[in-house]
Amino acid sequence: MVINYLVELFTKQRALQKIIEKRDSNRHFYKQEPFKGYKIFMVCTALIHEAIELQRETNFKWWKKENDIDIIKIREEVADLYHFIIQLSLEVGLTPDDLYKEYLRKCKINEDRQTSGTY
What structural domains does the chain harbor? 8-16+35-59+71-110 (1.10.287)
Whole-angstrom distance, CA of residue 12 vs CA of residue 4: 12
Task: Give which of 94, 96, 104, 109 is closest to 43, Cα–Cα.
Answer: 94
Q: Report pTM.
A: 0.84
| DSSP symbol at 34 | S
Share of the chain above pLDDT 70, in %: 92
| DSSP symbol at 29 | G
pLDDT level of residue 3 (50, 70, 90 thresholds): low
Task: Give which of 56, 31, 60, 29 is closest to 45, Cα–Cα.
Answer: 29
Which pLDDT tens digit goes with each residue over 62-117?
898 998 999 999 999 999 999 999 999 999 999 999 999 999 999 999 999 999 98
Long-range contacts at 3-8 (CB < 8 A, ≥ 24 apart): 3/96, 3/97, 3/100, 6/96, 6/99, 6/100, 7/96
Which pLDDT tens digit goes with each residue over 20-75?
888 877 666 666 788 999 999 999 999 999 999 999 999 988 898 998 999 999 99
Classify each residue of 81-116 as buried b or exposed e, where b means 16 or more C-beta atoms within 10 Å of its C-beta.
bebbbbbbbbbeebebeebeeeeeeeeeeeeeeeee
